[in-house]
Amino acid sequence: MQEENFSPQASLALIQSMIAKTRQGISDNSIHFLIWGWVTFVACIGQFILKNMLDYKQHYLVWLLVFPASLASIYLGMKQNKKREATTYVGESMRYLWMGMGIGYFVLSMILTRLGWNTTIYPFFMLLYGLGTFISGKLLEFKPLVYGGLMAWVLAIGSTFFNYDYQMLFGAGAILVSYIIPSYLLKIKVNKKKNFL
């Protein structure tokens, strides 16, 4: 293979292109963010309506939506894995980040199951929403994710001043600003870049 010369600028551009490539990869995979974002959003609002407006005792059953969402996400993930290209360093870090976050959510759900449904667990979920999106935003150099993460933390603090019934609405707000809106913005940004090229 013929050796190609890189100036320091070109080397930096290579690193920038790695970030851009990962950003595009995340945007292509944003379906996962959107599935989880929308399912969580609908579940939070649904639980609020069932509990506070319809006075339905088993209001938590709305969270069963998570199971079909998991199956859909696993199926899509397996499909995407088949056509995956070589991963970048940032991509590899993102993989570990979201693997860690996934296990974190799972363990937190176990804590929730153990503590019971009327426990004020929402602030902790919001804490994790913020953690994952803040780090992702910094890695991808994408500000809406960073701001989304920060806003999720602010909402987590805010929710502690309200009782459980209203914390659901804070949860919906946190998922909207940290997952749903940044995912759409990332998609728009990457699509614009694709069209430009």
Partner 1 sequence: MNEEENLSEMESLRLINEMISKAKSSFVTTGAASMVWGALIVFCSLLTWLQIYLNYFFFVDVWSLTLVAVFFQVYFSIRERKLRNFLAHDETITTYVWSAFGICIFLLSFYNSKFGNNDQSISSLFMLLYGIPTFITGGVYKNKPMIAGGILCWGLCIISMFTENTTDMLLMAASGLFAWLIPGIILWSSYQKKRAANV
- Report if residue 134 touches partner 1, rule: CB under 8 A: yes
Contact 146, 138 (CB under 8 A): yes
Dihedral sign (CA 149, 63, 67, 120): positive
Count of Cβ atoms closer than 10 Å to residue 39 Cβ: 21
Is 96 a binding residue for partner 1 by CB under 8 A? The answer is yes
Nearest CB to partner 1, comparing residues 18 and 45: 18
Nearer to partner 1 by C-beta: 160 or 191?
160
**∠ Cα 18 22 27 (to 5°):** 145
Interface residues for partner 1 in 152-181 (CB under 8 A)? 153, 156-157, 160
| Selected range binding partner 1 among 44-52, 75-83, 98-106, 162-170, rule: CB under 8 A | 98-106
What residues have CB less than 8 Å from 150, skipping those under 6 apart? 130, 134
| Residue 13 makes contact with partner 1 by CB under 8 A | no
**HSE (side-chain half, CA atoms, 13 Å) at 25:** 23
Q: Could you list the residues that contact partner 1 (CB under 8 A)?
A: 3-8, 11, 14-15, 89-90, 92-93, 95-97, 99-101, 103-104, 107-108, 110-111, 114-115, 119-120, 123-124, 127, 130-131, 134-135, 138-139, 149, 153, 156-157, 160
